[in-house]
Chain A
């Protein structure tokens, strides 16, 4: 049972609106909740403008202690205002061994204030540490061809990572009182003939450590069964380890049931790390599609980085895809 990723039943007597139920191991997504549970979920779009969803059960997480007294529940309500806005409010509560582990509240919005300008985002509150976990907002303008988008995100690690099962996210490692503000923008331009280009910029501002900027461009192209992409990005930070150039190139070619991929990533650190300035990773993949849901493949990888001066690996895999229509 524990290795199971999902197994659930859905009961939705009405397709578009009206109540629907899910029972079993399932991922619930709704406002603050993005959690795997063993339990039940019911969502009901009462009208096209209002709806409610609730869930409850046991959390599916890495266990550090027993499962007794562990439960999780929550819900979300929303209100839509014409075709201009949707506002949602959500909460989630999780107990671990009978003690308060998570109490989170969320507000989310989606707005279309003027034609073609879409704004959306959310703010999450941690009611145990009494602080905002994150604010995350984006805007996007899909024009005829060009898409412009922007992001603003702010996170306070103490509140955001208080319920964790991995020490890597603890303030002891990440710094007491640390927080991140991320601001980004990107422009995507289809150039025609299967070629598309995009540029992006992200600024990282920290409360304690030095800031950083990440920017660059990507170009992708597609001609029938052949496709490829190249990208170049610069990480320009105030601390040493955040000063590097990142290059990537891939090609993909399909012949009937076979797909071949070559993918190479190169990181050029400005200052050598453990004596190495140039890290790279090259991957080759051949996949054979046995039928619509089953494929077999071999990956061959070669890499060089400050940990391993040379490292090769081979991975054989059989992937089964459950298809909606089968």
Chain B
């Protein structure tokens, strides 16, 4: 499999800078948070845990910063969802997850969440044309939601 020349360097450089900067942070002396019930205070908007919890706090054997809902959270939440489900459950009802992870859903996530343009969502706006380009570019991401469910509307054109 061929990958472009640049990718390797971009990746390597970011990784090396990560190693360089990552090591410069003082050793945390951890305080471990327990999940007792729901989150004690209601949060609105994507939470940056370290805005309220000091960065040496830990939860589910990890630094709390691992759960900061920052700009790459959408790309990352899948790795944590399957490891720390109980923590997710403390703040999220499953209806929140199914608002994007539907089985048979009439509305696209971006229509359902049209009042939250700050969210990272697949297919915004009129997508029927652009989906041909994106679907070929990276079908793996589409497959997660459309591979075995959520695809009745697609059958109109994809027999």
Contact = CB atoms under 8 A, between A and B. Distances in A.
Contacts of B139: 157, 161, 168-169, 174, 180
Interface residues of A, number: 129
A248 B35 CA distance: 39
Contact of A147 (B62, B70, B135): B70
Contacts of B52: none
Chain A CB within 10 Å, residue with most, of B17, B132, B138, B159: B138
A288 to B, nearest CB: 10
Interface in A16-46: 16, 20, 26-27, 29-31, 33-34, 36, 43, 45
Given A86-B61, A259-B115, A306-B129, A205 B98 contact: no
B82 A201 contact: no
Contact of A201 (B1, B10, B17, B103): B10
A62 B95 contact: no
A134 interface: yes
A222 to B, nearest CB: 9
B158 to A, nearest CB: 4
Given A60-B149, A142-B68, A317 B154 contact: no
A188 interface: yes
A203 B149 contact: no
Interface in A275-293: 279-283, 285, 287
B31 interface: no
Contact of A86 (B11, B83, B147): B83
B75 A151 contact: yes
Contact of B138 (A43, A49, A164, A182): A182
A150 B15 contact: yes
Chain B CB within 10 Å, residue with most, of A143, A188, A242, A311: A143
Contacts of B140: 134, 153, 155, 160, 180
B128 A281 contact: no
B3 A183 contact: yes
A88 B62 CA distance: 15
Interface in B113-130: 114-118, 124-126, 128-130
Given A5-B103, A117-B22, A186-B71, A203 B4 contact: yes
A185 B16 CA distance: 12
B115 A252 contact: yes
Contacts of A95: none
A164 B112 CA distance: 26
Given A60-B103, A167-B158, A198 B82 contact: no
B146 A252 contact: no
A227 B118 contact: yes
A151 B78 CA distance: 13
A217 B116 CA distance: 20
Given A205-B2, A213-B6, 9 more contacts: A20-B86, A29-B81, A59-B148, A83-B58, A139-B18, A141-B21, A203-B6, A205-B7, A285-B114
Q: Which 9 A-B pairs give the minimum distances between C-beta atoms?
A: A281-B125, A203-B7, A205-B3, A303-B126, A117-B22, A250-B117, A305-B129, A185-B14, A322-B95
25 contacts: A27-B97, A43-B85, A88-B82, A110-B79, A114-B23, A115-B28, A118-B66, A138-B76, A141-B22, A142-B50, A150-B15, A157-B139, A160-B140, A163-B147, A165-B149, A166-B154, A183-B8, A198-B71, A204-B137, A213-B6, A263-B125, A282-B125, A295-B115, A305-B128, A311-B126
